[in-house]
Every structure is written in structure tokens, then in C-alpha cells.
Amino acid sequence: MKKVAAIVGMAGSGKTEAAAVFMKHGFSFIRLGQITLDEVVRRGLKPGEDSEKPIRETIRKKHGMAAYATLNFPKIDALLKRGNVVADGLYSWEEYIAFRNKYGKKFYVVAVYSSPRTRYKRLQKQKWDKEDKKMIRRHYMPKEAESRDFAELEKSKKGGPIAMADFTIINEVSKKDFIKNVEEIVRSIK
């Protein structure tokens, strides 16, 4: 039975690094928020909270709070024909419910947690690479990151999927230990 693992966590927690480990173990990759990033690039805007937030809000207003799940389901279904899938960036409670309803026992949620202090330091150092469409890392200043955190928790109810995760990884360790922890989860899911 082919599986869908969705990774949830706040910006800078290590979701993309976790997804890379899943990919190393043969999972196909999809970034749920790629829809927003594609629109940012299409409009010629600089990635960041100021450009991304209004786009996310417009998409959710038009398609509902489960938008990033339902708009990506056709791509996920196509990838499932080849094998397991890792979805980076589960955000809203409604997306979580949509995934649960669609994939049932084939669906797993992996939460990646890092403290705000750790995440904000990481986000300030990251650079955005337009050429690497899969593994985009956004650069945010601490105030921008905090603003995004509040919006994600208050408006998209991101705390619910984190609380309901099947697995939780605390990413306050070395990269080597983090990868080891993710690999244990991958083995549990496969």
C-alpha cells in the first residue's frame, strides 16, 4: 500500500530537510505551497511574507481553507502511481481533514518542531534560490517570521495538524542526529 507522509511545522523548523530524507528513501516530493511560490515568481515579486501572504489569502478565499490540499490532490494521486509521496508544508486544519478523508490509513503526519528562537536564526540566514524549485528555503527577518507564525496559528489553524501528528521530531539537535531521527520515522512509515 502506497503512503502519503505530510510534513507540518512552522517556518524554519526543518520541514524541507525532513522531506529530503524521505526523498532519499524513494518518496516522491511535492511542496504544497509551491502554488504560492509559482504565483510570486509569475508576478515578478520578491519571495517573502509581504508578497506571499496576500497570495495565500486570495487562494484560500477562492478555494477554501483546504485549498492547498485539494489543489494538489491530482498531482499527489499521479505521484502515488509510482510509489510513496512526501508532501512538504501541510498548513491548515481543513487541509489535514481533507488529507485524512482522502487517504485514510495511507496518510501520516510528521511534525517538525524547533523553538522560535532557533527557527528565526535559521530563517535569517537562508537564501532563496529561484532555480531550485523543489527545495526552496525562504529568507525572513525575525519580525517577518513572527508575523507569519501568528498568521499561520491564528488564521490557518496550523496548531491542529501539529497536535494530531503521527510522529513528532524535535529539531534542536545536530543535523546528523536530526537526519537519523527522520530516517527512523521513514522506516516506520514504509
| DSSP string for residues in 111-174 | EEE--HHHHHHHHHH----TT-SSS------HHHHHHHHHHHHHTS-THHHHHT-SEEEE--S-
| Nearest Cα residue to 3 out of 21, 22, 31, 24 | 22
Residue 39: the pLDDT is 92
Q: What is the mean pLDDT of the chain?
A: 89
Residue % of the chain over a pLDDT of 70: 92
> For residue 48, what is the DSSP state?
S
pLDDT band at residue 151 under the 50/70/90 scheme: confident
Q: What is the pTM of this model?
A: 0.86
Question: What domain count does the chain have?
Answer: 1
Across 73-91, average pLDDT: 96
Query: How far apart are alpha carbons 95 and 68 in whole angstroms?
Result: 7
pLDDT band at residue 114 under the 50/70/90 scheme: very high
pLDDT digits (tens, 9 = 90+) for 8-52: 999 889 999 999 999 999 999 999 999 998 999 999 998 877 888
Residue 47: the pLDDT is 82
Beta bridge partners of 7: 88, 110
Across 70-93, average pLDDT: 96
**Residue 105: CATH number of its domain:** 3.40.50.300
Residue 158: the pLDDT is 86
- Indicate the angle between helix axes 142-154 and 49-63, nearest 10 degrees: 10
Across 41-64, average pLDDT: 90
Instruction: Pick the range with the lowest mean pLDDT from 34-38, 80-84, 184-188.
Output: 34-38
Domain containing residue 116: 4-189
Beta bridge partners of 107: 4
Quick one: 89 exposed, middle or buried, by C-beta within 10 A (0-12, 13-18, 19+)? Answer: buried
Across 149-177, average pLDDT: 89
Residue 88: the pLDDT is 94
Residue 170, phi then psi, degrees to nearest 5 = -90, 115
pLDDT digits (tens, 9 = 90+) for 128-142: 555 444 445 556 677
Across 137-151, average pLDDT: 71
∠ CA 47-49-53, rounded to 5°: 105
The helix, strand and coil proportions of the chain, stated in percent and rounded to the nearest 5, come to 55, 15, 35
Which cell numbers in the block locate residue 9?
Answer: 511545522
Sign of CA dihedral 82, 84, 87, 92: positive
Residue 135: the pLDDT is 41
What contacts 24+ positions apart, CB below 8 Å, involve 121-130?
122/12, 123/11, 123/12, 126/12, 128/47, 130/41
Query: How far apart are alpha carbons 14 and 172 in whole angstroms?
Result: 10
Residue 3: the pLDDT is 97
